[in-house]
Structure 1
């Protein structure tokens, strides 16, 4: 078994080992993972944070010793909370740091990836935040373009949004909406929900295909074309622009 860490700002995680394969997620700076299989140009990885698997270009990550992987697994996460920041390495080269990026071995505005040490200034989050902070965090992503497999302010999908927001507040969600729907406690009525709870939506076959974050007064914030705010009723999401329902409500879950 090999182990790796992302040493670039953001890297596509693909379904198959090919540049033209579907991007199923992304790997942010500082995220570490197990390397399940290594081929000539591609490696199959399993992320430590959510056990999500996919293929990553061999030129876009750094191999690390097993003991470093185990150390990172045991340490608390320190996460950048600025939408876009910069880190400077020892050669004074800059790297973009997107919100939600891990800062391994963080201490006094420095962090390390492999043998490279970086300095960074800005807002850093660690530990669990209050539930009231969930919506506040989500509002930072308003108008972010929808991107299948995305999980950054440059492009994000519905479950990437909920996972990233919860991660920034100290809670681990699975990557896909259908898997996130297995977490937490079921609420019987919309009226029982609180801001920060998750609402899930299904298709005609009954499969969970969408997730959004509850706000006060039956509003919901979710990624659909862009990160937007719409109304929620017992039928589902009512798009305030098109004046029609776009998603059928399946269940509301209380995670915190």
Structure 2
């Protein structure tokens, strides 16, 4: 997804296999869309999506979502053609190893995520992204940004976060001190202008897992994130929030 209708425009997010959306504005080569999951808007190339009927859209909106559970996997259509998918892809109308995109039937045979998970599952899911490289706008283990990381981890555990850190900071319950936080809570960080620009997931023993250069584990204190490799604070703590 891009900020403007151009291949050289900033990538603001990504659409994964099976994600559905509404078309707000259709141009010759690009469409402006609104993602159903988090209402995030942006432009995508018209060659990269498949239109579905309103009836099919309504059906998948009303089902309990299921997501692919392997870091890297594939789905197979009835012609035995493979499509590679990363973790967290939607599996519309998934039942007995089959899913549908419009009229196309695919097979998927491996692990899935479905339903809400307990809070302690958030850490286990977060660790599966460890060392993933940073990519602005990314949402996969092959490139992910800070809010894409927190959103995807919570999504796989059955919870919806907004796409950007600033928007995620409007969700949940404010905690006054780090000591009140639990593993799985979110910590937000701001810049000199007071704008929230970063987010990470709190771990045990005053550590935090976040996407900064890569998905990494650092020390969290009352000032912010202390990077042991650089021997300095890299992010200034603004607020801690309990999402679940």
Where on the TM-score scale, by shorter chain, does this alignment land: which range?
over 0.9
SS of 2:192's equivalent in the other structure is coil
Deviation >6 Å, runs of 4+: none
**How far apart in 1 are the matches of 2:10 and 2:103?**
32
* Structure 2 Cα separation of the partners of residues 36 and 181 of structure 1: 26
Give the TM-score of the pair, scaled to structure 1: 0.95
Residues 119-167 of structure 1, C-alpha deviation per residue, up to 9 Å, x if partnerless? 1111111110010010110001111000000000110000000000000
**How far apart are residue 68 of structure 1 and its match?**
1.2
Which residue of structure 1 aligns with residue 20 of structure 2?
32
C-alpha displacement of 1:191: 0.5
Determine whether 1:92 maps to 2:64. Answer: no
SS in 1 for 2:39: coil
Q: Partner of 2:220 in structure 1?
A: 232
Deviation at 1:72, TM superposition (A): 1.1
Further displaced range: 246-255 or 64-73: 64-73
1:116 is aligned, of 101, 104, 121, to: 104
Out of 164, 167, 186, the position equivalent to 1:179 is 167
| Residue equivalent to 1:169 | 157
Q: What does 1:12-161 align with in structure 2 at a 5 Å threshold?
A: 13-161=1-149
Q: Distance in 2 between matches of 1:215 and 1:109?
A: 35
Across the two proteins, how many residue pairs are aligned to each other? 244
TM-score normalized with structure 2 length: 0.99
Query: Residue 51 of structure 1: SS of its match in structure 2?
Result: coil
Give the secondary-structure state (helix, strand or coil) at the position aligned to 1:26: coil
1:66-103 deviations in whole A, cap 9, x for unaligned? 11111111111000111111111000000012111000
